[in-house]
Amino acid sequence: MKHETVLKEEAIQYLNIKENGIYVDGTLGGAGHSKLILEHLKDGFLYAFDQDDFAISFAKDVLKGFKNYKIIKSNFRFLKEKLKEEGIEKIDGLLLDLGLSSFQIDDETRGFTYLKDTSLDMRMDQDQSVTAETILNTYSMEELARIFFVYGEERNSFKIARRIVEKRPLKTTMELVKICDSVNYNEKGHSSKRVFQALRIAVNEELTVLEEVLADAVDLLNPDGRLVVITFHSLEDRIVKHFFKDESTSNLPKNLPVIELPDTKMELITRKPVYPTDEEYERNPRSKSAKLRAARKK
């Protein structure tokens, strides 16, 4: 099974790892970042979160040989509570490498890809009850259209939602693809790309959990602690960008002659997003849409 870690060295550089610090990888996945974090630690400790059973069993194998880490099977929206259960109130760095790993996308049984005919699942956490099938077959037409428009920026969201409601119950990814084909027949790219992205975000509540974990991270970080986030689409990046801006912009009037701005909790380290190098783009086309942003707790 192949999974290439995106912006690997860059993420570690921005985490600025202290060898005895406490670090959290919120998105363990194939453990590429976690392994590198552990290689930089001496007496420190790593807590690694993932909500996907397959990622966890894969990562355990990658990390065998290391001792100073613990894998926690949980959504990172529960980071604060889960760390508290471990007796941890403060951390020195949090890394979030959002979205899916290649092996989730490539796994034909998970329903993430519109290129394979499979069940309409799309859950990252297999214990969760809501699937893409639940949403498609039970949400109102208006709610479906909203999901496609807001999370997928799909222009034909209403038409697609109406056809879905007419054709219910939907069981397979190809039934959904056929509906998208019939509406987006003029499309240059794949007719279903935006609808699949939107559904995946809705099934896993990806934007809500991101907002929650960012808010908790500010409280959890020690002074000089780092928050490093890698995003893969504009909706996620917008949330991170605005969050960083809000947390690092002073509320003081701009024309006051202050040198230190005391009332913000974070300091931006990346004024502009960091992109993969051309060499990484070439080696791993999936890194194409990746953007890294980092901030430091004051």
Ligand X SMILES: C[S@@+](CC[C@H](N)C(=O)[O-])C[C@H]1O[C@@H](n2cnc3c(N)ncnc32)[C@H](O)[C@@H]1O
Judged by CB under 6 A, does residue 99 bind ligand X? yes
Judged by CB under 6 A, does residue 21 bind ligand X? no
Of 122 and 160, the one with the shorter C-beta distance to ligand X is: 122
The whole-angstrom separation of Cα 112 and Cα 108 is 8
Footprint (CB under 6 A) of ligand X, residues 107-126: 124
Contacts of 194 (CB under 8 A, 6+ apart): 148, 152, 153, 154
- Write the single-letter amino acid at 107: D
Of 52 and 154, the one with the shorter C-beta distance to ligand X is: 52
Q: How far is the CB of 57 from ligand X (least distance, A)?
A: 11
Of 209 and 220, the one with the shorter C-beta distance to ligand X is: 209
Query: Which range, of 98-106, 175-183, 190-198, 258-266, touches ligand X by CB under 6 A?
Result: 98-106
The answer to whether 44 and 17 have CB atoms below 8 angstroms apart is: yes
Q: Which residue is nearest to ligand X (CB)?
A: 29
Judged by CB under 6 A, does residue 50 bind ligand X? yes
Distances (CA, A) of 204 to 52, 122, 126, 187, 219: 12, 8, 11, 27, 24
Closest CA to 195 of 160, 171, 239: 160
Q: How far is the CB of 20 from ligand X (least distance, A)?
A: 23
Give the DSSP letter of residue 68: S
Q: How far is the CB of 282 from ligand X (least distance, A)?
A: 19
Query: Which range, of 22-30, 63-71, 150-158, 193-201, touches ligand X by CB under 6 A?
Result: 22-30
Q: How far is the CB of 128 from ligand X (least distance, A)?
A: 11
Q: Which long-range contacts (CB under 8 A, 24 or more apart) does 123-132 make?
A: 123/203, 123/204, 124/51, 124/52, 124/100, 124/204, 125/51, 125/52, 125/75, 125/204, 126/52, 126/53, 128/203, 130/203, 131/203, 132/199, 132/200, 132/203
SS3 202: helix
Q: How far is the CB of 241 from ligand X (least distance, A)?
A: 19
The whole-angstrom separation of Cα 216 and Cα 141 is 34
Judged by CB under 6 A, does residue 52 bind ligand X? yes
Of 28 and 183, the one with the shorter C-beta distance to ligand X is: 28
Of 113 and 137, the one with the shorter C-beta distance to ligand X is: 113
Q: Is the peptide bond before 169 cis (omega within 30 degrees of 0)?
A: yes
Of 71 and 176, the one with the shorter C-beta distance to ligand X is: 71
Considering only residues 7, 27, 197, 227, which one is a binding residue for ligand X as defined by CB under 6 A?
27
Task: Give the number of residues in contact with ligand X, rule: CB under 6 A.
Answer: 21
Q: Using N-to-C axis directions, what is the helix angle for 193-203 and 173-183, rounded to 10°?
A: 130
The whole-angstrom separation of Cα 54 and Cα 230 is 21
Judged by CB under 6 A, does residue 225 bind ligand X? no
Judged by CB under 6 A, does residue 18 bind ligand X? no
- Using H for helix, E for strand and C for coil, what is the string for 165-179? HHHCCCCEHHHHHHH
Q: How far is the CB of 76 from ligand X (least distance, A)?
A: 4
Site string for ligand X, 185-224 (x = CB under 6 A): ------------------------x---------------
Identify the sign of the CA torsion 198, 238, 129, 59: positive
Query: Which range, of 30-38, 140-148, 217-225, 259-267, touches ligand X by CB under 6 A?
Result: 30-38
Q: Under the rule (CB under 6 A), what is the footprint of ligand X?
A: 3, 5, 27, 29-33, 49-52, 55, 75-76, 97, 99-101, 124, 209
